[in-house]
Structure 1
Amino acid sequence: MSMRPARVRTRHRLPWGRGGPLALWAVLPVVAAALVAPTMTAQASGTSLPHARPATSDTPDFGPNVKIFDPSMSSSSIQSTLDSVFNQQQSNQFGTQRDALLFKPGTYNVQASIGFNTQIAGLGLSPDDVQINGYVTSDAGWNNGNATQNFWREAENLSVTPPSGTDTWAVSQGASLRRMDVHGELKLDPSGDGWSSGGFLSDSRVSGQVFSGSQQQWMTRNTDFGSWSNGVWNQVFVGDPNAPAQSFPNPTYTTVAQTPVSREKPFPYIDASGNYHVYVPSLRTNTAGATWINGSTPGTSLPMHDFYVTQPNDSAETMNAALAAGDDLLITPGVYHLDQTLQITHPDQLVLGMGLATLVPDNGVTAVSTADVNGAQIDGLLIDAGSTNSASLVQMGQSGSSADHSADPQSIEDVYFRIGGDGVGKATDSLVINSHDTIGDNLWLWRADHGSGVGWTSNTADTGLIVNGDNVTMYGLAVEHYQKTEVLWNGNGGRTYFFQNENPYDPPDQSSWMNGGTNGYPAYEVANNVTSHQAWGVGSYCYFNVNRAIVNDHAFQAPNTSGVVFHDLLTVSLGGVGTINHVINASGGAANSTTNNVYLANYP
């Protein structure tokens, strides 16, 4: 069997600002011929070579679920498409349709309402390359004005000028705003008096005020805004130049001046010749503000022919053939059932999803794993547990990983895990991080509390996140409803900036939810062997609606040592339904029907 040679790829730094990009890649003819030859031979002979390199192009077919708009199209035709997608997706919470709405550079006079499983994004190198004179909105009319289920939607890389001066993005977990330039105010809660329950804003600018309103919790990173107003329990700001002053718990603002280490999510763009590329922002340390405001985002550009671009009927075997050959993977919108694990084995290899592309591991396999290599990235995916239990859904680095990746960490951005909700799903652990120095950015790990296939013995899941690697950093981490310890942190040097949790709603009785002799399990546990760990802005809530008598002894658990420090902790008994006796270990009072909210500024 003829195999592709070892990966040969040159990444080119881009020297330009916001002008048109230049074609900078050099192709080695001998290598190119060697790479293409196996596929051509297979086609000529009529045989199948499962490890041959799939065909790829700089102007690929992105499949049936990607709509690409260009400024020569009439506003009415674009509006018709946007409305059609929204009408299908507005309340289609657990449906199988996935959509990406992509805008080529130019100016558009349209109104874009964004529903479930939908991504809207610009195809410029800068957000200001795509100007939307209109709204890019998420609201909650479908749910009587309650946005606490506005999940699984994304808006990226756009400049928006709302006609009224205010854009609305009322969302909860699993929703992000990235690389946005909002010319006006940004409202984060729904029209009327409804609630919203989480979200993530990064690498953006808002010229006016951000009005948080009824947002129960929110994470903002590396964003410039005019001012900030309101908030309920937990608003965390990291690397935001105009963030409100640290004031937890009154108001509940946690402010960290600089982002210690970050890597922004890669994004596709199109050049003046009509060729597509993926831009990979560089690793940055000790930063404040957006990457693009004072010039082009530092990073490298990859030609689209470095990627295998999937179609919704592609198999795991096809995708693994591309990964083994050294290609990156661009997973277009769709639901992909996997009968084998997608294996990321090359340094700096990317798996990038579009339009909430969804991976479903069948027969108990792990959906995605990385080797202990530098720079592997997993981005923009929904991982949906299958009906046969998986030991884990995503694994970063093998067990026992030991390499130092501090100069080029692995990262995982805008990845959402779901156990049940659209049918029975099962997974013992959702995300296991073994590689040192890994960065997580906007992750929601959810054992479903509503939908189909939901119940204490149906959508079973022990732990959301296990961190075994050292020096792992998390921004915007939400982990909810798992049945045992929800986050278990075994590595040293860990950092978490914003954590949101809900205990499982549905223990049928106390004996079903015991951690040895202790009532319940911690939402976030730092293992006893850990000597250094810090966390900022962390909250855990209970709502034991199946049995209101359920008690959780403590929401957080950690060794009592000077190197393990928590800042700005809270517990909430939602509506007074159930009890959390202590915030962390034996510190902090009880959240219960009498005292719904408990705040603790520091531990120890």
Structure 2
Amino acid sequence: MVVPLIALVAAGLGAGDAVAGAQQQDQVLACGTANAVLNRPATASSSENGGVPASAAVDGNAGTRWGSAFSDPQWLQIDLGSSVSVCQVGLTWETAYGKAFRIEVSDNAAAWTEIYSTTTGTGGAQTLDVAGTGRYLRITGTQRATGYGYSLWEVAVRTSDGTGPVIPPTDPRNPDFGPNVFVYGPGSSQTDMQNKLNQIATETHTNQFGTQRYAVLWKPGTYTADVNLGFYTQVAGLGLSPDDVNLNGHVRVEADWLQQGDNPNNKGNATQNFWRSAENLSVTTPAGQIERWAVSQAAPYRRMHLKGAPEVQLWNGGDGWASGGLFADSKIDGRVVSGSQQQWFSRNSEFGSWAGSVWNMVFVGTNGAPAQNFPNPSHTVVGQTPKVREKPFLYFDAAGNYNVFVPALRNNSTGTSWSQGQAAGSSISLADFYVVKPGASVDTINAALAQGKHLLITPGVYHLSDTIRVTRPNTVVLGLGLATLIPDTGKAAISVADVDGVKLAGVLVDAGPVNSPSLIEIGAVGSTASHAANPTSLHDVFARVGGAHIGKVSISVRVNSNDVIGDHLWLWRGDHGDGVGWNVNTAANGLVVNGNNVTMYGLFVEHYQEYETLWNGNGGRTYFYQNEFPYDVPDQASWSSGGGTQGWAAYKVANSVTTHEAWGVGSYCFFSPNNSIVASRSFDVPDTPGVRFHDLVSVSLGGVGTISNVINNTGGVANAANQQRYVVSYP
């Protein structure tokens, strides 16, 4: 149930009043064995001749077949007679099979929902586990494997039969968040709360690749707490506004554990302070005390209000290194001092003032940002955020109900969404969510999604035997505590159909040991629908290949849908930890964008082995890009995109693209095993007036390795002699 918050307020109700009591006992049934399409009416886009009609694919005779005309696309449609829950589709192909095809369901044969797609079909007998509901099923071939048409001996469809996994109801007043979520209210023991915070901080302080995951949440009220935030920990308020929950004390990240340089006593290095978050809180520091947020990637400071502190320091305050970071939808009353931060992205925030710059500080829609200047200081300032949706968040209302707030789209915005009053958006009762806890199966997750549930994924590490398939528009998938998904069988962890308004937020996808074609797939290949009015959005979505264990993937995130918004992504092929090496944690691309009019805010992509970002769609925009080339290139011959080019560009805009624009983009090299390695350029783009880049930098870190040009053949050499190279605009 989705209720616009404005309507609730107008009615004099809290969001929870309108949506409470919506839960019910829901059961999704197990996959049966009967063939639901046997001898059902079938039609097709074409038949090669009268001997291979559509009906032959559902007649139960393995010696008869449907065969299409010799062209693309072609489809076969079957009427199941009534709306059913489809859980499996079997396809038995003749030699002329579909290399690329999709399967869809519909209640009316007009509006279709995709439940499966592939571009790498192998023919033969295929058994496909799916999740979707409809009266009609359609198989559409978009690329033939041969010069003939599409030919199917038989299609079998199986539906639920009555004994499947139960989707437990969620009580929005007293939900079970599992063992790794700790919720505190005004009546909670402050001593017990601080002891738990200290315990988590100790456990996670240096545990960079551990399996612990935690979320600590506060109901509206005032508390005293010192939060020393470690790995894989989320702290968040449960108010509709950050100011509904005030912590007197600190929410801080220190740089005090990682050695810097050759001195074992210098532990001021923040460059590996990853994977943690602070959200939806106000923090009032003790009088005169600063706040410290010494982080690097995947450590969002989001929807926060920092009061009292004269300044927040984004590094250790001394000679420590740092490589962050993100402020989003946050208000900082005092001064922000960036110190040694190499780069930083601030969006829709409000600062008392800002001091500091190294290579790439980007401000979009932010009040209190410094003036535009590039380089030295390297401040890229964009006055308004053209189109954005803030991240959904969990909250606890005055009626005692838990809900998830889904902020509305904002256009041409400046400043936070909340500091001038309640943000626009809608509330969804937690009764409409399946709360995923450690041990949940993919079958149950997909059954809940097929039933129309949203997902709240609680902190934990989830090993997946299959893909989590999001097929319904406006679905919310919200992770808590850096919930981590590991695809163990070489499939994607998450796929999102080409539908409106899906929100995927707060998850870390960790590649498994069997190579996956992708980890996250947004829309099917060839998606063409417009979603301009209600785009899918990704918020605090992180991907990792190696580091915790051996992982392999071809593409970490592939965006095929149009109009998608990315709001803080870090896609990382591991350069340290376990399971790392040029031939060990293999990964070609971090991000591939095939959709049109896709926008990325705060895009971090590092260490992939080919084009780290490959943009094939038109109308793309990127606001802030941070990249490091792979450190571990063994030799020049192993690393080339061909045609005499040395290496692969960090950011490639396809030659066919006619419109693309980017602001505040940086790429660095540190070819530590072999410092003779050369990258021809950081950015490779077509020379056309519609492709424009603003404020670019290439850096040879410590002079270890060479980048010959910043963009195309422009910008000069970054190497030991000239470690930074800047380009103000291109062309």
Same fold (TM over 0.5): yes
User: 1:148 matched to which residue of 2?
Assistant: 271
Question: CA contact under 8 A between 1:54 and 1:321: conserved in structure 2?
Answer: no
CA separation in 1, counterparts of 2:463 and 2:19?
36
User: 2:428 matched to which residue of 1?
Assistant: 302
CA separation in 2, counterparts of 1:10 and 1:146?
45
SS of the counterpart of 1:25? helix
1:295, distance to aligned residue in structure 2 (A): 0.6
**Pick from 477, 495, 502: which aligns with 1:351?**
477
Q: Does residue 1:274 correspond to 2:400, yes or no?
A: yes
Question: CA contact under 8 A between 1:12 and 1:25: conserved in structure 2?
Answer: no
Q: Which aligned pairs between 1:408-487 and structure 2 lie closer than 5 A?
A: 408-487=534-613
SS of the counterpart of 1:354? strand
User: 1:55 matched to which residue of 2?
Assistant: 169
**Pick from 552, 557, 563: which aligns with 2:690?**
563
CA separation in 1, counterparts of 2:386 and 2:441?
39
User: 2:3 matched to which residue of 1?
Assistant: 11
User: 1:130 matched to which residue of 2?
Assistant: 245
Letter in 2 for 1:229: A
User: 2:465 matched to which residue of 1?
Assistant: 339
Deviations 1:374-428 (A, max 9, x none): 0011100000000000000000000111111000000101011000001110001
CA separation in 2, counterparts of 1:37 and 1:216?
51
**Pick from 262, 268, 279: which aligns with 2:388?**
262
User: 1:382 matched to which residue of 2?
Assistant: 508
Question: CA contact under 8 A between 2:433 and 2:456: conserved in structure 1?
Answer: yes
Which one has the largest radius of gyration? Answer: 2
1:28, distance to aligned residue in structure 2 (A): 10
**Pick from 36, 40, 46: which aligns with 2:26?**
36
CA separation in 1, counterparts of 2:500 and 2:553?
27
Question: CA contact under 8 A between 1:443 and 1:477: conserved in structure 2?
Answer: yes
User: 1:161 matched to which residue of 2?
Assistant: 284
Q: Does residue 1:575 correspond to 2:690, yes or no?
A: no
Question: CA contact under 8 A between 2:2 and 2:426: conserved in structure 1?
Answer: no
Question: CA contact under 8 A between 2:15 and 2:427: conserved in structure 1?
Answer: no
Question: CA contact under 8 A between 2:616 and 2:657: conserved in structure 1?
Answer: yes
Question: CA contact under 8 A between 2:541 and 2:570: conserved in structure 1?
Answer: yes
Deviations 1:197-241 (A, max 9, x none): 011101110111111111110000000111000021100000012
Question: CA contact under 8 A between 1:152 and 1:175: conserved in structure 2?
Answer: yes
Letter in 1 for 2:591: L
**Structure 1 residue runs without a partner (length 5+):** 1-8, 41-46
Q: Does residue 1:170 correspond to 2:294, yes or no?
A: yes
Provide closer, same or farther for how the CA distance between residues 212 and 364 of structure 1 changes in structure 2, counting only shifts above 3 A: same
1:566, distance to aligned residue in structure 2 (A): 0.2
CA separation in 2, counterparts of 1:318 and 1:289?
40
CA separation in 2, counterparts of 1:62 and 1:71?
19
TM-score normalized with structure 1 length: 0.95
Provide closer, same or farther for how the CA distance between residues 131 and 27 of structure 1 changes in structure 2, counting only shifts above 3 A: closer
**Pick from 113, 117, 121: which aligns with 2:232?**
117
Letter in 1 for 2:721: T
Question: CA contact under 8 A between 1:51 and 1:322: conserved in structure 2?
Answer: no
CA separation in 1, counterparts of 2:366 and 2:15?
32
1:10, distance to aligned residue in structure 2 (A): 3.8
CA separation in 2, counterparts of 1:11 and 1:67?
27
1:37, distance to aligned residue in structure 2 (A): 6.3
Question: CA contact under 8 A between 2:597 and 2:617: conserved in structure 1?
Answer: yes
**Pick from 361, 366, 370: which aligns with 2:492?**
366
1:50, distance to aligned residue in structure 2 (A): 3.3
**Pick from 47, 58, 78: which aligns with 2:193?**
78
User: 1:5 matched to which residue of 2?
Assistant: none
Question: CA contact under 8 A between 1:372 and 1:398: conserved in structure 2?
Answer: yes
CA separation in 2, counterparts of 1:600 and 1:249?
9
1:193, distance to aligned residue in structure 2 (A): 1.7
CA separation in 2, counterparts of 1:161 and 1:187?
15
Letter in 1 for 2:722: T
User: 2:90 matched to which residue of 1?
Assistant: none
User: 1:553 matched to which residue of 2?
Assistant: 680
Provide closer, same or farther for how the CA distance between residues 593 and 38 of structure 1 changes in structure 2, counting only shifts above 3 A: closer
Letter in 2 for 1:402: T
CA separation in 1, counterparts of 2:422 and 2:204?
34
Letter in 2 for 1:157: N
CA separation in 2, counterparts of 1:135 and 1:146?
20
CA separation in 2, counterparts of 1:27 and 1:70?
20
1:36, distance to aligned residue in structure 2 (A): 3.2
Provide closer, same or farther for how the CA distance between residues 52 and 79 of structure 1 changes in structure 2, counting only shifts above 3 A: closer
1:335, distance to aligned residue in structure 2 (A): 0.2
User: 1:6 matched to which residue of 2?
Assistant: none
Give runs of ≥4 in structure 1 deviating > 4 Å: 26-29, 37-40
CA separation in 2, counterparts of 1:111 and 1:100?
15
Provide closer, same or farther for how the CA distance between residues 69 and 52 of structure 1 changes in structure 2, counting only shifts above 3 A: closer
1:72, distance to aligned residue in structure 2 (A): 1.4
Question: CA contact under 8 A between 2:16 and 2:403: conserved in structure 1?
Answer: no
Q: Does residue 1:23 correspond to 2:16, yes or no?
A: yes
1:575, distance to aligned residue in structure 2 (A): 0.3
**Structure 2 residue runs without a partner (length 5+):** 31-160, 259-266
Percent identity over the alignment? 55
CA separation in 2, counterparts of 1:594 and 1:76?
56
**Pick from 626, 648, 659: which aligns with 1:532?**
659
Q: What is the aligned residue count? A: 587
Deviations 1:85-104 (A, max 9, x none): 00000000000000001011
User: 2:365 matched to which residue of 1?
Assistant: 239
Provide closer, same or farther for how the CA distance between residues 148 and 10 of structure 1 changes in structure 2, counting only shifts above 3 A: closer
Question: CA contact under 8 A between 2:604 and 2:625: conserved in structure 1?
Answer: yes
Question: CA contact under 8 A between 1:140 and 1:191: conserved in structure 2?
Answer: no
User: 1:4 matched to which residue of 2?
Assistant: none
SS of the counterpart of 2:300? strand
User: 1:327 matched to which residue of 2?
Assistant: 453
Deviations 1:563-602 (A, max 9, x none): 0000000000000000000001101100001000000000
1:20, distance to aligned residue in structure 2 (A): 8.6
